[in-house]
Structures are given as C-alpha cells and as structure tokens.
Amino acid sequence: MKKEELIKRIIPPISRSDKKDREYFNNDEALSKLDSEQLNILEEALIKRIKTSDDILILETLVKLKSLKSIPTLLEKLNSIKDPFEKIKWASLINEIKQGNLEMEKVAFEEFEKLEFVYEVQGTIFHDLIKFKSNRINNLIETYIGHKYFLVAYHARLVLNYKDYK
C-alpha cells in the first residue's frame, strides 16, 4: 500500500460539502491491521502533517500510536496556539502520549483559569481536564458541581463520576 493511500485510510480528508465523513470516524480497526513498517511510515507522515495542520484526528492518531517521536513537534505546535480550549485539548493529548506530565497539567490548569465566560465551558472541556488525573484539576472541576448553568454542573459531575452528585 502506498503512503498516501495508507494515510487517506487512517486520516480521511475533511470534505467541505459533507463533514459526516469525519464526524463519527474511528480509525482503530484500520490501525490494528497495520504492520510495524506501515506504522512507522504512518507515524513519520503524521508528524510531518501536524506541523502545518490543526486536524485533531492527526493528533488523536499520534496518541493512539503513543508517538514519543511526535512530542517535539506537538510542543512546538502547542506553544503557537492562542485559544484556551484548543490549548487544553492539545495539552491533554500530549499528556496522554507522555502518560502523565506535570508541564502539560500546568498548561491546562492555567488555560482553564483564563476562561472568562463560564457557560462556554459547558462540559467538553472537563472531559479533557479529567484525563490529567490531577488532584488540583479535580478540585477545580469539583467547584463547578453546583454551578447555576445546568450543563456546566452536569458535565462536572459526569467526569468526576461522583455517585452523590445527581
């Protein structure tokens, strides 16, 4: 299988006319069928692509590959991101590759503190934050359990998985 064909199977192009191609896409099965040579080719190609792309599927695939080789490129990219939500997402995924990292936890915590409009938090951000398995971040999320906006409180309870919070 040619390199471009391999990449297209693992990272389908984003179609402007129909984003459903990507909406619920999962490349786990396709990745599981690759041999070590194909995985190496894919990893190198994805590292090269992520330098010029903000495609989160590329980053998520590098996480699935546990690509330690991608860390320098991902850190460089992380430092160029301005949006706190996006920065937290990237820090969370880099943290997964590193299997825990205090530097990424600090980035996520500080970026979360920059958020001004709490309703925007809704909850998806908590799903990224909880991955750090950090007492400091868990305590921060816990402060939102009784929040006046339902979705904020709901997602805080959901990610903390507290039985007492309904």
- CA dist., res. 108 & res. 95, Å (int): 10
Per-residue DSSP letter, 25: -
**pLDDT of 137:** 94
| Closest alpha carbon to 129 in 146, 141, 118, 116 | 141
Q: Please give the helix or strand (H or E) that residue 56 lies within, else none.
A: helix 56-64
Residue bearing tokens 């041999």? 35
Walk along the chain (166 residues) and give the pLDDT tens digit of each residue. Answer: 688 888 888 998 876 555 556 777 889 999 999 999 999 999 999 999 999 998 889 999 999 999 999 999 999 999 999 999 899 999 999 999 999 999 999 999 999 988 876 656 667 789 899 999 999 999 999 998 888 888 888 888 999 986 444 4
Name the 3-class secondary structure at 88.
helix
> Is residue 40 included in any domain, yes or no?
yes
> Is residue 156 included in any domain, yes or no?
no
**Number of compact structural domains in the chain:** 1
Residue bearing tokens 């929040």? 147
The residue segments making up the domain with residue 32 are 1-65
pTM for the full predicted model: 0.85
